[in-house]
Chain A
Amino acid sequence: MRLEAKKLGYRYANDAWLFRKFDLSLQQGETVGLVGPSGRGKTTLARILAGYDTPLEGTVMLDGQPLPKRGYHPVQLVFQHPEEAVNPRWRIGRILNEGGQPDPFLLQELGIDQGWLERWPGELSGGELQRFCVARALGPQTRFLIADEMTTMLDAVSQAQVWHSVLAIAKQRNLGLLVISHEPSLIRRLCDRVIEWESLVH
């Protein structure tokens, strides 16, 4: 399976184009890093690939097919701030099951404590919440995962823990990963190849 972005272009209202004629291709089973300065549209690209925004130009194709408009989206995105990604009125257990029952192996890998499922999001720290966001995004139908500064707000131990579980599950299910990060050493650790944002934007 292959995720392809062809000639994407996007801008906000009448601002200058963030990017145009942007091409990117991701293979199943590979981990690709995307690095570049902030404020240039990396997050926007992530949102487009995961179906949150529609590009103004170009298309995103999964195996030559356009991405589905409804139903479970095969490209999932995990955001930087987990606090915004969960409904504050839902208990953790309900949040976790929103996309279906997650894999018990994954929960164990992520160090998720059963006692947390009864808690409210406000009672957990960002490091713990992000584990649930990751588990939620890794439903059985997920093919590609985009991590937009996914562990930037986490301490080193949680970061290593989250990434080890994600890599393990990605390997097991042959998922493709796109890692957007400011941290060169993390990118070096995780990725098979690295894309410089500047080299792709025209």
Chain B
Amino acid sequence: MCKLEVENLSVSFSHYDRGLRQQMVEVIHGLSLSIKAGQIVAVVGSSGSGKSLLAHAIMGILPGNAVMAGRICYGGETLNAQRQATLRGKEMALVPQSVNYLDPLMRVGQQVRIPGADQVQAAQQRNLFERYGLEPGVEQLYPFQLSGGMARRVLLSTATLSGASLIIADEPTPGLHHEAARETLLHFRELADEGRSILLITHDIESALTVADKVAVFYAGTTVEIAAAEDFAGHGERLRHPYSRALWNALPQNQFQPIPGAQPLPGQLPDGCVFAPRCPAASAECSEIKPDMRKLRGGMVRCIHAS
């Protein structure tokens, strides 16, 4: 059974243009994703494609001017705002992007433990800090005293210590040294092997592949492909979507090959396939019909030409 299922999710924001006109801009549309217990699903894709928003939508912490549609299921039960509030921090935990999410006036040791924590938890927290290579003195520090790498490891221990069975990590590795990043990801793998589910939002495809089971590729606010981690190999021949292939081939360790153009802005999406304007294989049909997600070779793809 799936731990988390996201079905046809869309997130829109209401903005003011000029004057009093209010406008809805759809930032995520038609997004589907699922994670089983014990799985790590990596979410990769272009910056500004709505990866962080997905995390916030699952946790129920979108800003007030956001409107959501579609369905999110946790443990077979449809989530709503109340349910999210109950699960947040206990069943589902978020490793946020930056140290700004910590309380600036509280020592970090204190805030990674759950309020009213007992001695056992304090001991667990010390163990965990030691594992992440944080010196014992660190728990006495305030967030502003942490370096970028330290802050990241502190944020990580918050989520781990909560005992949540779904951990959503939003870019947990930038700013970390290569070994530290690898260590972090291996720790995620261990957590997953204990039966937890992990949604790993990252743009470091290479290191994500070392631990992930599945990879979801995002572009312009939707999933274009869901592939097994093994499919990212060679020149990307086994990948199903042209954008996934472009992303893979653009990595500096692969061809470092860019594609021209830019991702369309939310609210200005093309009528047909979102990738058609930049796609080398696009046909006339592509710019007319919005392709649906379909099953292909054990994965999913949103492209009419994929085979």
Contact = CB atoms under 8 A, between A and B. Distances in A.
Do chains A and B make direct contact within the complex (CB under 8 angstroms)? yes
Contacts of A123: 265
A189 B178 CA distance: 17
Contacts of A37: 177
A185 B257 CA distance: 14
Contacts of A15: none
B253 A155 contact: no
Contact of A156 (B203, B263, B265): B203
A25 interface: no
A183 B147 contact: no
B48 A157 contact: no
Nearest to B246: A157
Interface in B37-57: 44-49
B29 to A, nearest CB: 16
Contact of B175 (A38, A115, A128, A154): A38
Contact of A188 (B148, B176, B252, B259): B252
B265 A189 contact: no
A155 B258 contact: no
A158 B203 CA distance: 11
A169 to B, nearest CB: 14
B264 to A, nearest CB: 9
A111 interface: yes
Interface string A9-42: 0000000000000000000000000000111000
B189 to A, nearest CB: 22
B21 to A, nearest CB: 15
B252 A189 contact: yes
Nearest to B266: A123
Contact of B258 (A119, A124, A157): A157
A160 interface: yes
A182 B46 contact: no
Contact of A128 (B48, B205, B247): B48
Interface string A93-129: 0000000000000000001110110010001111110
B250 A160 contact: yes
Contacts of B176: 182
Nearest to A122: B15
A164 interface: yes
A142 interface: no
Given A184-B178, A186-B252, A188-B252, A154 B261 contact: no
Contacts, number: 95
A189 B47 CA distance: 22
Q: Is the interface of A mostly helix, strand, loop or mixed?
A: helix
Contacts of A39: 147-149
Most B CB contacts (10 A, CB to CB) among A125, A128, A186 go to A125
A153 B97 CA distance: 11
Contact of A111 (B149, B246, B256, B261): B261
B47 A185 contact: no
A164 to B, nearest CB: 5
Interface residues of B, number: 34
Interface string B257-273: 11111110100100000
Interface of A: 37-39, 111-113, 115-116, 119, 123-128, 152-161, 163-164, 182-186, 188-190
Interface of B: 44-49, 147-149, 174-178, 203, 205-206, 246-248, 250-253, 256-263, 265, 268
Contact of B46 (A127, A163, A183): A127
Contact of B48 (A115, A126, A152, A188): A126
B256 A189 contact: yes
Contacts of A158: 46-47
A182 B178 contact: yes
A7 B180 CA distance: 32
Contacts of A189: 252, 256
A121 to B, nearest CB: 12
Contacts of B206: 185
B148 A127 contact: no
28 contacts: A38-B147, A38-B177, A111-B261, A111-B262, A116-B265, A119-B265, A125-B46, A125-B49, A126-B47, A128-B263, A152-B175, A154-B47, A154-B203, A155-B45, A155-B47, A155-B49, A157-B247, A157-B258, A160-B250, A160-B251, A161-B260, A164-B258, A182-B174, A182-B176, A184-B178, A185-B253, A186-B252, A190-B252
A160 B257 contact: yes
Nearest to A111: B262
B261 A125 contact: no
Contacts of B251: 156, 160, 185
B118 to A, nearest CB: 34
Contacts of B47: 125-127, 153-155, 158
A102 B260 CA distance: 19
